Amino acid sequence: MTIIKEKPAINNLRENAVRQTNKINLSLFNYCFLSYYYLLKEIKKNASSAKGILLDVGCGSSPFENYFSKYVERYLRHEHPAVAKENIKYDYLSELPEISAPNNSVDTIISFSVLEHVSRPFETLKEFKRILKDDGVFIISVPQYWHLHEEPHDYLRFTKYILKEKISKLGFQIVYLKETGRSFAVVGQAFCNAIILLFDLEHIKNIFNFLLDKKSNHVGKSIIYAIYKSPLILLSIILIPIINIFFLVLDQLLGSPRDTIGYFVVAKKVAA
């Protein structure tokens, strides 16, 4: 009997991730607004920690380059080979945790919303240590809360305690660790996620691609779907910015750090 192994949907590995656009959309109509707001806040606060040669691991379309480029000498790009874009020049293509960069070759590594999609995330941090020079730094973000996404390559969520334990054991000193949003940001983001998950996102993506004159599949079916769902789509357009504003204010005033969308970490390689 022949056993047919299911081929992983690797071509869609990072199709809907933040890294796929070359600029972060902070519109209040964006259902990811709360997550992006706190992530960008931490990036702006900590970008000056970058130095020398920087490697962006899982870079996608490099949406964070503008925040770091003024602090570094070179900006290198790494991506999974299955999702590399033809119009972007990558310096390294590999499946994590392996990266083909030489030992002690970079001063800074950044990686945002990537490690949850790697089945061995702490092996990836070990690889960061190999690549980084002494006193080099990595800057990462990881989720504690998020819905399933980029399936089937969605493996883990993180707490600050596992981050502290594993990062320290690997030979790094944590310079900065901060939650990205607090308890009310989680509630607001969960509301927005619940709304957007009412829809078949493939149809919505097809329509946007068609309007932007990009490649789209079965756009006729997608338009019919949008017409059928139009009352719910209109309600979502109204609700999402209201939720974003309301829960951002609540989070600033009353949010607890014991619940968070995720964590932002800056760590330094300790010289041997």
Q: Tokens standing for 244?
A: 């974003």
If asked whether residues 101 and 164 sit together in one domain, one would say yes
If asked whether residues 166 and 203 sit together in one domain, one would say no
Q: DSSP 3-state assignment of 43?
A: helix
List the chain residues with pLDDT less than 50.
Answer: 1-16
Sheet holding 92-93, edge to edge: 92-93, 74-79, 53-57, 106-112, 132-143, 262-269, 172-179
If asked whether residues 101 and 222 sit together in one domain, one would say no
pLDDT at residue 227, as a whole number? 85
Q: What is the CATH number of the domain that holds 30?
A: 3.40.50.150
Full domain range(s) for residue 141? 13-182+257-269
pLDDT at residue 4, as a whole number? 31
pLDDT at residue 86, as a whole number? 84
- H/E run at residue 205: helix 201-211
pLDDT at residue 224, as a whole number? 85
Question: Per-residue pLDDT tens for 160-194?
Answer: 999 999 999 999 999 999 999 999 999 999 999 99
pLDDT at residue 199, as a whole number? 84
Question: Per-residue pLDDT tens for 123-150?
Answer: 999 999 999 999 999 999 999 999 988 8
If asked whether residues 36 and 113 sit together in one domain, one would say yes
If asked whether residues 149 and 224 sit together in one domain, one would say no
Q: Is residue 8 part of a domain?
A: no
If asked whether residues 49 and 145 sit together in one domain, one would say yes
Query: For the chain, what is the domain count?
Result: 2
Cα separations in angstroms, 190 against 63, 182, 206: 24, 12, 24
